[in-house]
Amino acid sequence: MALSVEEAKQVLHDRVSNDVAYHAPNEEAVQRHELIRTHTEALAHLYVELCPPGRELSLALTKLIDEAMARANAAIARNHNKLRDQRRDQWRNRSDPHPYEGADINKGTSLPCCPQPRGAEIHQVGDEWRP
């Protein structure tokens, strides 16, 4: 069923209001933001190690950090309550632990939703980042 013009405008007004509002993060959102930053930084260091310096690398880093990371963090900030409610509903009647339970971002624990690709780990060796 298609929306009327007035209904479509209301949907857009609601979106604008949500997009510009401050969204105080809950604990799960804070962990998600940290994971996004941690993995973005690791991927950026990998780019620096694998790609020759130049315009293309500079653009790749800009797109990754300024755009992809920012969009991912905006998605979390603007919708973390929806995610919380969705997860609660999914796990309400299960005996299994919550999939994020026990994840420790300070130890580099991968969450079940986004496992680290095999062989993609990078480590700092001296002043260098190596795969």
> What's the DSSP call for residue 38?
H
pLDDT number for residue 128: 60
> Tell me: the pLDDT tens digits for 13-50?
998 988 888 888 888 889 999 999 999 999 999 999 99
pTM: 0.57
Per domain, the residue ranges of the chain are 26-80
pLDDT number for residue 124: 58
Return phi, psi of residue 124, to 5°.
Answer: -85, 125
> Tell me: the pLDDT tens digits for 63-81?
999 999 999 999 999 887 7
Burial string for 106-127 (b: 16+ CB within 10 Å, else e) reads: eeeeeeeeeeeeeeeebeeeee
- Check: CB of residue 131 under 8 Å from CB of residue 121: yes
**What CA–CA distance (Å, rounded) separates 90 from 88?**
5
